[in-house]
Amino acid sequence: MNRMEALTAKRQAERHGRARHAVDEIRQRAAEAGLSIQPVGSFARGDFRLHSDIDLLVRGPIDRCHRVAAERIVAESLRGVDIPYDLIFEEDLTAERLEEFLRDSL
């Protein structure tokens, strides 16, 4: 491994660690609020890279208050982490699209 590859690997590992910490915090805070938020996409599949975002799926039907709570939990947990994210609500998806996301979920 050359120096550039070593530096890239180090940065990727650090970024993945920040993402893992944030996702763990999101899942814990969501559970405390009676919500289910789970990672999907590249993070859940294990191919999260230097330029990947974090895709998060909010499970089940939720009312407006819980939707706002989910948005707040995710935004606060990822503030300062410098990793973009997509927040996806199950109730906004078609059955086919939900199935695609669930294939990759943790």
DSSP state letter for 20: H
CATH classification at residue 15: 3.30.460.10
pLDDT in tens, the chain (106 residues): 799 989 988 999 999 999 999 999 999 999 999 999 999 999 999 999 989 999 999 999 999 999 999 999 999 999 999 999 999 999 999 999 999 888 877 6
pLDDT attached to residue 105: 72
**Domain coverage including residue 58:** 3-103
Element containing residue 40 per DSSP (H, E): strand 37-40
What are the counts of helices (DSSP H) followed by strands (DSSP E) for the chain?
Answer: 4, 3
Cα(27)–Cα(10) distance, integer angstroms: 26
In angstroms, the Cα distances linking 59 to 15, 22, 93 are 26, 18, 11
In the chain, the number of structural domains is 1
